[in-house]
Structure 1
Amino acid sequence: MAAPLPVTRADDSGGAPAQGGGAEARRAVTALLFLAAVALPCLVLYRAMAPGAMLLRPGAAAVPWRLTATDAPRVNADLDGDDARLERVLREAAMANDTVILTTLNSAWSEPGSVVDIFLESFRIGESTRELLDHLVIVSLDTTAHARCKRIHRHCFALVTDGVDFSGQKNFMTDGYLKMMWRRIDFLRQVLEKGYSFICTDTDIVWLRNPLPHFYPDGDFQIACDHFTGDPDDLGNNPNGGFTYVRSNTETIEFYKFWYAAREKHPGLHDQDVLNFIKRDPYVAELGIGIKFLSTELFGGLCEPSRNMSRVCTMHANCCIGLNRKINDLNAMLRDWRRFMALPPKDKHSVSWTVPQNCSLQKLEQ
């Protein structure tokens, strides 16, 4: 630092500079300049660091001293990462009326040539179904399934459940199967709360026609059946949770909360059996939710195959235990469908399903 310049002070009479206090004044000015020279860099450094300044105390980790407006979105994104990710995927996949198609997938069903490949192929060869793939979200239950989803489909969401492994084959009514089904019910409640209606479909269902025109206009909760009595309002229908259409509203959100909570009153039962218990519950009637059961003519399955290939929308490999059996009969459904579509209109009435094959009830009983 350069030496300070000498400073003189004029007396009141305007005469020569006073000599008595000159040295003392020079020392005072020197001290002030020195303090300014030290303080100015510190002030600049402080202003540069202030937005991210950290306040430390001995033995403590650094904590934010002040959270600025620009920092807040980043912190919130970290805290709500899964929620923000789900919102983004749903928004990108939604139809104009905020409806999405959802299916869940684990690694056992995600292998090449397995259930998910048959599922996606049905959309490609179905009647007015290819465009629906733009609105399908595959919800993967483990990392292997998620990696496969990203290779074969556009909209994927990883649903992670701490401490639960959903990767392997989950046979019907095993502990792993029950946890997987109830996790799905809770997830669907989240989707409804975000304002999205949905069609939830099991992956072991082939889509042959667009089902949207066949849903009831006054049904909040619409579900396929293992057995259909012929009356869509009959609570005696035997529902199958593998295919549902649900509108997002206050009634359905509360219904899914009630359904999920009811698992504790009925331990060891899956979501379909619990639904059969609660569908007549006074609280469900009090909610005023419109429940409709879907005809097996339009939404069939191996339990009760559709008899009309000219109208059927979906076919489900239900009433079937075992992955290989499902794959066999799902492939047979696609062969039947291709044969039907290849025929001229006058001959289509002659085609019928060749299923069940490996999934026949007789073989299941052996």
Structure 2
Amino acid sequence: MMGIQPNLLNQLVSFLLGASAAGVLIFFLSFEGVVSRPSTAVISSWSNGTMGFPDSPAQDANQTSRLEVASPQEANHTSQKAAEQELERLLRAVADEDRTVIMTSVNEAWAAEGSLLDLFLESFKNGEKIAHFVEHLLIVALDAGAFERCRAVHPHCYLLPPLAGNSSDLSEEKVFMSKDYIDLVWSKVRLQQRILELGYNFLFTDVDIMWFRNPFERMSVAAHMVTSSDFYFGDPYSPINAPNTGFLYVKSSNRTVGIFEAWRGARASFPGKHEQQVLNEIKFDLIEKRGLRLQFLDTVHNAGFCNNTRDFNTLYTMHANCCVGLGAKLHDLGNLMKEWRAYRGMDDEQRRRGPVRWKVPGICIH
């Protein structure tokens, strides 16, 4: 028995070693087949310029998902950062040598074909030596529809990111003094302050303002801020004039950034009022306590439907204010542009006979 046991043991060990070797060989042959025939999913990924791992461990896959799915706060931060970078890029592109940009804002209703944006751009083409200003124009789109239309007609368009927690739909025409209207005009002030903080001067013009001549000719270089007027009483620096912030020039400085901070901060003290009304309430304090040099433009040159200015010989801009409704604005501004083109066709002698007036009444012009 003692002699037989070692022999049996040797045979058993030999058998096990042989079986293990065969198993290892089979395993490597099988693995070689897998390596030499990658799955169609991997090939498809490579052909699309990406590398896929369809059989990655579930733990790794879950980890990847956790990395890719950001929290709402992180997503909002990323979106805001991208919007900020795009704003800076556009400002560099449109600013003139003095770091001044012209800007307007539109929603989908105002940007639609045949609407206010088309009339606004046409006014630069038909104005007196102002066509080049379009190169320095930044159009701020308040919604995706306006942004798409803007890019079809102009190279410099910026989509204004919404405020966190504000779900207002800014794409449609807003009723004057409605909550959406007030939110819209205050969003404009927020953006204007950021432009000043980035070191750029701006001239903001409502899109329902037609340009005829160079408005910078009427502005004082000594002013920190220049605004058009609803009512003008003769002294360009008197705060008794009533501002219209639909046409507003501001020079970038620490002072004007502080002015805008105070302006926006005053909103809470005047609930339900839009930005122009609040500025009118605080203008005395801004001038007396903060040293603001605020110039008001003469309505003879920078007019509106609220005024009775009707002489093309003195007109630089015309604002469709005191006019409620998109259809009414389009009707009267369209007629105004037709008569301006006729005026441009007059010879100097005809113009000197002035004043050269336009026909009234319209829907809003009386």
TM-score w.r.t. the length of structure 1 is: 0.76
Per the TM alignment, residue 184 of structure 1 is displaced from its structure 2 partner at its CA by 0.4
Matches within 5 A, 1:58-207: 61=63, 80-161=81-162, 162-207=166-211
Instruction: Report the counterpart of residue 362 of structure 2 in structure 1.
Output: 357
Cα distance in 2 for residues equivalent to 1:267 and 1:356: 36
Q: Does 1:211 align with 2:215?
A: yes
Tell me the C-alpha RMSD between the 2 structures: 2.1
Q: Does 1:312 align with 2:341?
A: no
Per the TM alignment, residue 323 of structure 1 is displaced from its structure 2 partner at its CA by 0.6
Asked if structure 2 preserves the Cα contact closer than 8 Å seen for 1:116 and 1:203, the reply is: yes
Change (3 A) 1:146 1:319: same
Asked if structure 1 preserves the Cα contact closer than 8 Å seen for 2:332 and 2:365, the reply is: no
Q: Which ranges of structure 2 fall in alignment gaps of 5 or more residues?
A: 1-58, 68-76
Instruction: Report the counterpart of residue 47 of structure 2 in structure 1.
Output: none
Per the TM alignment, residue 285 of structure 1 is displaced from its structure 2 partner at its CA by 2.5
Instruction: Report the counterpart of residue 230 of structure 1 in structure 2.
Output: 234
Instruction: Report the counterpart of residue 333 of structure 1 in structure 2.
Output: 336
Change (3 A) 1:59 1:127: closer
More helix by share: 2
The SS at the match of 1:206 is strand
The SS at the match of 1:303 is coil
Per the TM alignment, residue 59 of structure 1 is displaced from its structure 2 partner at its CA by 10
Cα deviation per residue 1:270-291 (whole Å; 9 max; x = unaligned)? 111111110012x552221211
The SS at the match of 2:249 is strand
Per the TM alignment, residue 335 of structure 1 is displaced from its structure 2 partner at its CA by 1.4
Amino acid at match of 2:95: A
Instruction: Report the counterpart of residue 346 of structure 1 in structure 2.
Output: 349
Change (3 A) 1:228 1:85: same
Per the TM alignment, residue 332 of structure 1 is displaced from its structure 2 partner at its CA by 1.4
Instruction: Report the counterpart of residue 32 of structure 1 in structure 2.
Output: none
Change (3 A) 1:79 1:153: closer
Cα deviation per residue 1:291-326 (whole Å; 9 max; x = unaligned)? 110111110011114344223110000000011000
Per the TM alignment, residue 78 of structure 1 is displaced from its structure 2 partner at its CA by 6.9
Asked if structure 1 preserves the Cα contact closer than 8 Å seen for 2:83 and 2:161, the reply is: no
Asked if structure 1 preserves the Cα contact closer than 8 Å seen for 2:311 and 2:356, the reply is: no
Amino acid at match of 1:243: F
Cα distance in 2 for residues equivalent to 1:212 and 1:91: 21
Cα distance in 1 for residues equivalent to 2:60 and 2:338: 73
Instruction: Report the counterpart of residue 17 of structure 2 in structure 1.
Output: none
The SS at the match of 2:172 is coil
Per the TM alignment, residue 105 of structure 1 is displaced from its structure 2 partner at its CA by 0.3
Cα distance in 2 for residues equivalent to 1:99 and 1:334: 27
Q: Does 1:295 align with 2:315?
A: no
Cα distance in 2 for residues equivalent to 1:174 and 1:80: 30
